[in-house]
Structure 1
Amino acid sequence: MSTRRLLALPHLDIHNANALSSPFTIGFPAMTAWLGFVHALQRKLQAAGFPTLELVATAVFSHRCDLQTYQGPGDFVHSIIGTANPLDKDGKRSAFIEEARCHLDVSLLIEYRAQEADEARMERPEFLPLLEQLLTRMKVAGGDLFGFKTPQLHVLDDSEQQAVRRLLLNFMPGFALIERRELMQQAMEEGADALDAMLEYLTIHHSCEQSDAGEMTWRSQRKAGLEGEKPGWIVPIATGFQGISPLGIAKNQRDPDTPHRFAESVVTLGEFRMVHRIHNLDEVLWHYHTDLNKNLYLCQQAQPETTDLINHGRY
């Protein structure tokens, strides 16, 4: 078993994070936002004197997600609570594009690697204050970081199951976001369309039965998972992008030295699972994965087989 070095960022208090995780989903920020934040933190730490440090995988634990929407009396749909722009010279509100926002309480568990010299420096007392100083100047998923609890460093062996369990239980109460693309894969292998396969697991079916005494009993249920498994809190999640144009140089692109391409969101199914149901770190750690042959740039978790999301679990 391998030794794992982990950095815990407990209870990040984030305000006004981007809740439009893809063009057609709203709610918890996309996985690209969380891994993007961790990548930005890696670059700041490398520039601060840890050049060999790599933050290679990230687990996301949600303690609270307050979506900024409103449903008035008698309304069928929720409305976005928007921010007001300043008045123009005529005293009127200027036109703006509504942006869905959410307030979050989230913990991150980050696996890292570094050469021995940098690992030794990270264990010194001055590292955590430096990390806290960097965090206070960062955005998270487009939102403002208002506060956080003291970061922690952990060194664990995969064989020490009790130590892994104790570490994970530090994030209770909370839900770990895990990938469930295999649910869509199974449905699509049975002939379902990608969107139908997704909606099949998200739809709640209500049924009513009347007893002999005339009493009505309502039941609500969702589709069972693999081999009769009852899935938990299944949600659509954005896990990356697929390129839809050739690599090239675009006019006025932000980085003139990096090839540019247009892309669309990759959306599949995920599950918010209570932390006490997690048994090992690989169940929750997300990492980057690219498949240039299929133009895929993904955030994913370790699964038995990496499949083509164009035909399995993507729309």
Structure 2
Amino acid sequence: MPIEVTPGTTDTPHAAWLVLPRLRVQNANAISSPMTWGFPSVTAFTGFMTALERKLGPDAGIRFSGIGIVCHGFEAQVTPTRQGVYTHSFALTRNPVLQDGGTAAIVEEGRVHLDITLVLEATISDALLDDDQRQACANAIAQQVAGMRIAGGSIMPPTQPTTLQTRQRRFKAKLVRQESGFEQREKQYKRLSRQWLPGFALVSRDDVLHARLADMQNNAVPDTPAPTLLDAWLDVARLNIRASLHPDTQAVEWKPDARPGWLVPMPVGFAALSELHAPGTVSGTRDPRVPFRFVESVYSIGQWISPHRLSDCTHLMWQPTYAPDTGLYRCTNTYAEHAAAAPQTETYVPLSIAD
């Protein structure tokens, strides 16, 4: 029967985690925004969460409020170019011939093979409080997921391990009830996170972006344009190597800037460029039955961190949010608040930068 979902709900018998381990995704989209490439956007996974909930239907007794992403393998479909081993190009496929027999133009499509584990924060009904019923639900969801797509990529059967014990522990979908109490839930997460190794979890680091902007503004050269969020985003996204004089030998030393971890630029949502149009009033839309508006990509900084270094599963979760006043569709994650005191202002870096 339909149930209500409160994001981040804990200490209730209906709070659970759905673990979909070791999903192999073939030919996922590697170009998720106009300015970044690589791992698919977080919005692709929140969209997968929404699509899965719709396929299950309101009578499934389970609702999702967040999704965590752990990557075990990343294989970009690229080939080295003649410029050198550090320059690569996407391995593209030519489209079928046209009606007149001519060859169609090649469309730039970046592809990547992924090996990932998805952890969905869920609220379950009373019918799923029984262990056997939860496992039956997890098995049914795994069958449903096998016929879906993630970031445009096809979900392939996992490579089965040789031992039955490892197969049951790491390669089987599980619907786990959350323990009551912070300490019990922390121990439960530690047990689960060890099963996701080796791998790296994607979390938000908005605090690093704002800290870098403040540092650039404090060290800005007089009579020059003030640094913006875009400047800070580009500075964090690249590897900076600076020259300095050794105090004793007066020799020049080149050192990279210190970084708090494996930081990556990434899109985290969309910002509205127009008003919300009524369904069917804009031609060429994907679904003429729903409202439509023009948007642009929103960027932030993420970090890949080993899942066993997180203290709580809530720090792993990404939740889709919407601000009607600003037209901001953004995926949020609470790890930045745990790592450092996050600023009170909304953090996003659209193409036309605004603070």
User: Structure 1 residues 23 and 186, CA, compared in 2 at 3 Å: closer, same or farther?
Assistant: same
Moved more, 77-86 or 232-241: 77-86
Shift of 1:220: 4.8
Aligned-partner residue type, residue 120 of structure 2 = I
CA deviation after TM superposition for structure 1 residue 203, in Å: 2.1
Matches within 5 A, 1:1-315: 2-3=11-12, 4-46=15-57, 49-50=59-60, 52-75=61-84, 77-88=87-98, 92-120=102-130, 123-148=133-158, 149-157=171-179, 158-160=182-184, 161-189=186-214, 190=217, 192-206=227-241, 220-222=255-257, 224=258, 230-249=259-278, 250-302=282-334, 303=337, 307-309=345-347, 315=353
Partner of 1:227: none
- Mean Cα deviation higher: 28-37 or 273-282: 273-282
Give the Cα separation in 1 of the matches to 2:41 and 2:28. Answer: 11
Contact 2:230 2:349 in 1 (8 A): no
Shift of 1:74: 3.4
Letter in 1 for 2:203: I
Q: For 1:217 and 1:305, locate their aligned partners in 2 and report how far apart those are by CA, in whole Å.
A: 37
Mapped to 1, the partners of 2:191 and 2:351 lie a distance apart of 33
- Report the CA distance between 1:305 and its aligned residue: 5.7
Q: Which amino acid aligns with 1:268?
A: S
CA distance in 1 between counterparts of 2:131 and 2:190 reads 27
- 1:80 and 1:100 in contact (8 A); partners too: yes
- Provide the secondary structure at the position in 2 that maps to 1:123: helix
How far did residue 119 of structure 1 move? 4.7
Task: From the superposition, tell whether residues 219 and 277 of structure 1 become closer, same or farther in structure 2 (CA, over 3 Å).
Answer: farther
Alpha-carbon distance in structure 1 between the residues aligned to 2:252 and 2:144? 56
Distance 2:322 2:57 in 1: 23
Structure 1 residue 125 displacement after superposition: 4.9
State percent identity of aligned pairs.
30
- Counterpart code for 2:28: A
Q: Deviations over 1:128-168 (max 9, x none)?
A: 33222211210111101012432012123232122221111
CA displacement at 1:117 relative to structure 2: 2.8
Output the CA distance in 1 between the equivalents of 2:116 and 2:252.
Answer: 38
Q: Give the conservation status (yes or no) of the 8 Å contact 2:16–2:178.
A: yes
Distance of 1:184 and 1:288 partners within structure 2 = 20
SS at match of 2:155: strand
Distance 1:27 1:312, change over 3 A: closer
Structure 2 distance, partners of 1:129, 1:163, is 21
- SS of 2:189 mapped into structure 1: helix
Question: Structure 2 length normalisation: TM-score?
Answer: 0.77
In structure 2, runs of 5+ residues without a counterpart are 1-9, 159-170, 218-225
How far apart are the structure 2 equivalents of 1:30 and 1:238?
Answer: 6
**Alpha-carbon shift at residue 92 of structure 1 (Å):** 4.8
RMSD: 2.9
CA offsets, 1:227-266, max 9 Å, x none? xxx4111101111111100111323434334221000111
Distance in 1 separating the partners of 2:190 and 2:65? 21
Distance 2:206 2:138 in 1: 36
The aligned amino acid for 1:95 is A
Structure 1 pair 285–208 and aligned structure 2 pair: CA distance change class (3 A): same
Structure 1, gaps ≥5 residues long: 225-229
Following TM superposition, by how much is the alpha carbon of 1:28 offset from its aligned partner in structure 2, in angstroms?
0.3
SS in 2 for 1:171: coil
Structure 1 pair 125/194, CA: closer, same or farther in 2 (3 Å)?
closer
What is the CA–CA distance in structure 2 between the aligned matches of 1:209 and 1:182, rounded to whole Å? 27
Alpha carbons 1:176, 1:273 under 8 Å: kept? yes
Contact 2:67 2:319 (8 Å CA) reproduced: yes
**Alignment CA distance shift 1:207-1:253 (3 Å):** closer
| Paired letter, 1:307 | T
Conserved 8 A contact 1:59-1:108 = yes
Q: Relative to 1, partners in 2 of residues 1:131 and 1:122: Cα closer, same or farther, differing over 3 Å?
A: farther
* Cα distance in 2 for residues equivalent to 1:88 and 1:205: 47
Equivalent AA in structure 2 for residue 291 of structure 1 = A
- Given that 2:27 and 2:154 are in contact with CA atoms closer than 8 Å, whether structure 1 keeps it comes out as yes
Partners of 1:236 and 1:106 lie apart in 2 by 19
Aligned-pair distance for 1:199?
Answer: 1.8
